[in-house]
Amino acid sequence: MNKTLNIKLLLLLFSFLLSNATIAQGLTWSELDSGQQNLLKPYSSEWDKLPNDKRANILKGVKQWQSLSSEDKKLTKQRFNEWNKYSSTRKNEIRSGFNTFQAMPKAVRQQLRSNFNKFNKLDSDTKHKLRKKWQSMSKSQKQKVIKKKMMKKRMTLKQRRIIQNRIKRNRTKNN
């Protein structure tokens, strides 16, 4: 029962974190197939009361869940359990970062993903040294590094403003 509840909670989490909502399908509970109803059983009494866009997002999450391999489902459950351990403040910080990332222009998101992938390919010692170096820098030093990288990449003014606003928000949160 606990496993089933975790899976169902995970599906709800997916529905709220998905960035690209599908067009509201407006399916009633009776219109869901048996697999969907089985996964969403604890919410059967509330389903028809949910707004159409939330139903569509939840169904998108169900579809994604059903397409995962058993290994991916296991990994997703582990991540969900980790998520549940976070404080509500930490969860809100993560959501805010996610929303900021989604608001960035596509080219900037692609560049950030590329940099992240490059970083993950580094050996653990190099990663550790880079993290340590970054953490030892002052806020103004970090801003100079970021500004230099933005200028090097010839980002548009809009792209720079988005990133600079994120830095300002993070600075006020951390103070």
Contact call for residues 76 and 67 (beta carbons, < 8 A): no
Q: What is the pLDDT of residues 52-82, one digit of tens each?
A: 888 888 889 888 988 999 999 999 999 989 9
Q: What domain range is 43 assigned to?
A: 2-85
Report the alpha-carbon distance of residue 152 to residue 150 in Å, rounded.
5
* CA distances in angstroms from 73 to 1, 6, 7, 25, listed in the order given: 17, 11, 9, 25
Helix ranges (DSSP H) in 70-138: 70-85, 88-103, 106-121, 124-136
Instruction: Specify the pLDDT at position 148.
Output: 76
Burial of 83 (0-12, 13-18, 19+ CB in 10 A): middle
Could you tell me which residue, 11 or 114, shows the higher pLDDT?
A: 114
Q: Is the same domain home to 68 and 140?
A: no
Q: Does residue 89 surpass a pLDDT of 90?
A: yes
Q: Examine the fold and report which residue of 40, 56, 85 is the final residue of a domain before the chain moves on.
A: 85
Q: What is the pLDDT of residues 16-38, one digit of tens each?
A: 555 334 334 568 888 888 888 88
How many domains in the chain? 2
